[in-house]
Amino acid sequence: MTILQDQTTEVLDFDEILARAKALRPSLVKRAVEIDEARRLPADIVDALKEAGAFRMNMPASWGGPELTSVQQIEVIEEYARGDAAVAWCVMIGCDGGLYTSWLDDAVGRAMYPRLDMVQAGWVYPVGKAVVVDGGYELSGRWMFGSGCQHADWLGAGCWVYLSQEDAEAGVDAVDWKVLLSPADAYEIHDTWHTTGLRGTGSTDYSCERLFVPEERSFSYLSPPKRPGTLYAGQDTFLRKMSGVPLGLARAALDDATAILEAKEDRVLKVPYRDMPRVQTAVAECEMLLGSARAYVFESVAAIWDRYDAGTVPTAAERAAGWLSRLNAFQSARTITRTLYDTIGGSAVYARQTPFDRYLRDAETMCQHIVGQEKGLELVGEMLLRGDGVSSNPFLNAPAAI
């Protein structure tokens, strides 16, 4: 295999990546409506994100990457979400290349990612079918929620593995669950992303029929990664950074609401909104909710990180806190945006005058992801109530998957 060398000469650390995210935020705010209506990220914004180092956050230090901690990634994604939640969502997904390749042989991953700022997308859940053939697999299927797939370099596809085409067609039990990685242009992209919110993510369906994928570009999500390092320990590494999106959205909503409410006056009573007890209470409650949600996220993620950093595994309680803090961040962001939308009143409905129409739609949509849905409480509660910390959901029983 030919290993291409990274043409990137600039080394970016956390401080620089965060600073560049902050510098991009004003332009994202100005273009948020454009992004929403385009239902994908404009090419120049993708280029700006690459230049800012947004997609390299999980790239290993051994490749010249920053290999940021999970907490650091949350902080960066928060900044992008304060500019536009769809951009932040694409950053959160698009930077997963360094994580995906941690399951591959290092030379294979390096050849796939000759540049640190390449973009990953795809769905890991096994909705496709892969048939074993000489040297790899023939992959068929259609996947949903391909966030960023229209500007991605690589697409992952979760699938059940079958020993033959006959087995796949006959419904014989699969022999494995794997994720297969292929160039994004190997798939057909379907224009399905007509949604309530997060429209700019371009999370369309994608499909293929009997696409050959070499064995070397496949991995089992339930197996431990091959690459050493705290960042790559535990399957939950994909999830730890997700809270940055709702936390950043909620922060933007609060900042914008405060500015609106400080200047607004009741048309009938001629009383400034800032002097109204109900308005004061709503703003204070939202700040309290965001502060507690953010603290819970940072505390739980830091605890899990410390466990892995010490070479141990998080306890059931720590795993539960990691999941619950994420779920709480998503649900809290939705509560905050709803509360502020109601507090602002009628003017909030005008999508071209305030961002609250978009904030509300984005919050509602992101809460439909499994990590933001309240049904996750059942799975976590079951694990906490069982003495062995095991869930009936096999996905959650992978090492630290929750």
Q: DSSP label at 105?
A: -
* Other Cβ atoms closer than 10 A to 92: 26
Residue 228 lies in a domain: no
| Residue 150 in this model has a pLDDT that exceeds 90 | yes
Distances from the Cα of 44 to the Cα of 83, 175, 184, angstroms? 16, 43, 19
The CATH number assigned to the domain holding 127 equals 2.40.110.10
Greatest Cα pair distance, the chain, in angstroms, is 78
**Cα 194 from Cα 191, distance rounded (Å):** 8
- Model pTM score: 0.94
Phi-psi region of 197 (alpha: psi -120 to 50; beta: other; left: phi over 0): beta
User: Same structural domain for residues 213 and 155?
Assistant: yes
Q: 282: which residues sit within 8 A by CB, 6+ positions away?
A: 339, 340, 342, 343
| Digit-coded pLDDT (tens) for 276-308 | 999 999 999 999 999 999 999 999 999 999 999
**Cα 68 from Cα 73, distance rounded (Å):** 6
Residue 167 lies in a domain: yes
- CB-count exposure of residue 246 (10 Å: 0-12, 13-18, 19+): buried
User: Same structural domain for residues 135 and 90?
Assistant: no
> pLDDT class for 394, splitting at 50, 70, 90?
low
H helix or E strand, kind and range, residue 300? helix 277-309
The CATH number assigned to the domain holding 44 equals 1.10.540.10
User: Same structural domain for residues 276 and 392?
Assistant: yes
Question: Given this model, what pLDDT does residue 379 score?
Answer: 86
**Number of structural domains found in the chain:** 3
The CATH number assigned to the domain holding 272 equals 1.20.140.10
Helix 244-263 × helix 356-366 angle, to 10°: 160
Question: Given this model, what pLDDT does residue 4 score?
Answer: 44
Which range marks the domain in which residue 346 is found?
A: 243-397
> pLDDT class for 3, splitting at 50, 70, 90?
very low
- Last-in-domain residue among 80, 112, 144: 112
State the DSSP string of 33-49. HHHHHHTS--HHHHHHH
User: Same structural domain for residues 260 and 353?
Assistant: yes
User: Same structural domain for residues 247 and 345?
Assistant: yes
User: Same structural domain for residues 384 and 352?
Assistant: yes
